[in-house]
A = this chain, B = another copy of it.
Amino acid sequence: MGAIRERITGRRLAPGARLPSIRAFATAMAVSKSTVVEAYDRLAAEGAIEARRGSGFFVAGPPQPFSPADLGPRLERAVDPFWVSRQTLDAGDTVLKPGCGWLPAEWLPQESLRRSLRALSRAPAETLADYGTPLGLAPLRLWLSRRLAGHGIEAAPDQILLTESGTQALDLVCSLLVEPGDTVLVDDPCYFNFHALLRAHRVRMVGVPFGPNGPDLAAFEQVLSEHRPRLYVTNSGLHNPTGASLSPVVAHRLLKLSEPFGLTIVEDDIFADFELEPAPRLAAFDGLERVVQIGSFSKSLSASVRCGYIAARRDWIEGLIDLKIAGSFGTGRLAAELVLGVLKDGGYRRHMDGLRTRLARAMGETAARLHAIGIEPWIEPRGGMFLWCRLPEGLDSAVIAQRLLAQDIVLAPGNVYSLSQSASRFMRFNVAQSGDPRLFAALGRVVKDR
């Protein structure tokens, strides 16, 4: 391999040139033909050379150059619903990401994941190679059915559809239930990607102010009668970005208000594993009649392994399956097996217990350090990773976010979450990604300079 690589880099073998035949090269190097076959195969697998059937091996063309589009955050991008996603996903390893929506890799159950991967390497051929069933891996749906039961939600495994992600789960529910031009109700503030996804579905969005116990009920009622939304998308436990949890009274009244309007509610339960005490679930109160629950394992288990779910009334499942086939065909069987392996690993529950404690400590520390520079949390969340904070008067979080991006710090400015653009003084902090003192030094300077 080395001898061929040297000839290629030294241009003695130019791009497109034919390599010596296997027999000739084996003779020249005084090695066996099988050694040369192996070396050529590996070089071909690397892309340095290519095999053309029937005519031998040839030097591959020069690789196409990378463009700057590959190289990290783009400063000029306007702060739109994609701003935080793009900047955090594009950020390199040296960039601080207090604005991002996930845990550092080393906070996740790595050892369970590694064990699950090793177990999969010994799985039957079908597990490794076949499409799964349309509903998705049955034992994982059974596990989810039991977890939902723990939250008071009765959902049989055949009412649960596995998806590629929580986002795809919402995408499918929207495809099933809303038409372009329909109105969809969201919390203000809410997870920015709800705006992005709903926009892609060409729906009209209306917002309802979100308070410490859930949506403002007077505003909710008014929006219902005025706009007749088809759907309402929300988080009941550990709302994103505020960290608030729905109170049982608000849950009851919200469902009662929605009933005469035939409103369907999508409850995104993605942060369920992070609650210290479980909030009431709309899906439990309602019994999956007019509530659909979605979720995923991206936050507590791995974002690299894609697996989400939809729990819904039985008569919606067939339509959701058809839409899943139309838009993504298979169901990520390997990802589902990997997730199941982790969930069934004895160490996983203890990992999650430890993680909740670690997050609670990080939340206390982050709140104290923000307080020291005049930034205060809107509420004290009951668990989770997010602190939704108010900045001192006169500061605009989008301006700060763009300024700190130039210093390799990606923040999450309030207005990316706000349909009414009324959260310019707010900022969401991920406490698990806020351990570096450079963040508070940079923020402190901004606050002082105002």
Contacts and interface: CB of A to CB of B under 8 A. Distances in A.
A334 B90 contact: no
Interface string A117-129: 1101110111111
A325 B166 CA distance: 12
A227 interface: no
B105 A329 contact: no
A165 B131 CA distance: 12
Contacts of A276: 53
Interface in A1-51: 38, 41-42, 44-47, 50-51
A326 B199 contact: yes
A146 interface: yes
Contact of A304 (B60, B115, B328, B334): B334
A125 B110 contact: yes
A430 to B, nearest CB: 13
A258 interface: no
Given A45-B344, A63-B145, A121-B121, A317 B158 contact: no
Contact of A330 (B121, B165, B202): B165
A348 interface: yes
A233 B247 CA distance: 50
Interface in A35-85: 38, 41-42, 44-47, 50-51, 53, 60-61, 63-67, 69-70, 82, 85
A349 B51 contact: yes
Contacts of A447: none
B196 A128 contact: no
Contact of A165 (B82, B167, B197, B328): B328
A110 B89 contact: no
A254 to B, nearest CB: 26
Contacts of A304: 127-132, 330, 332-334
16 contacts: A51-B349, A53-B353, A60-B146, A61-B146, A64-B157, A82-B325, A105-B126, A105-B129, A165-B329, A165-B330, A193-B325, A196-B322, A197-B326, A197-B327, A199-B326, A334-B335
List of 8 A-B pairs having minimum Cβ-Cβ separation, nearest first: A64-B156, A117-B121, A105-B125, A105-B129, A196-B326, A304-B333, A167-B329, A304-B334
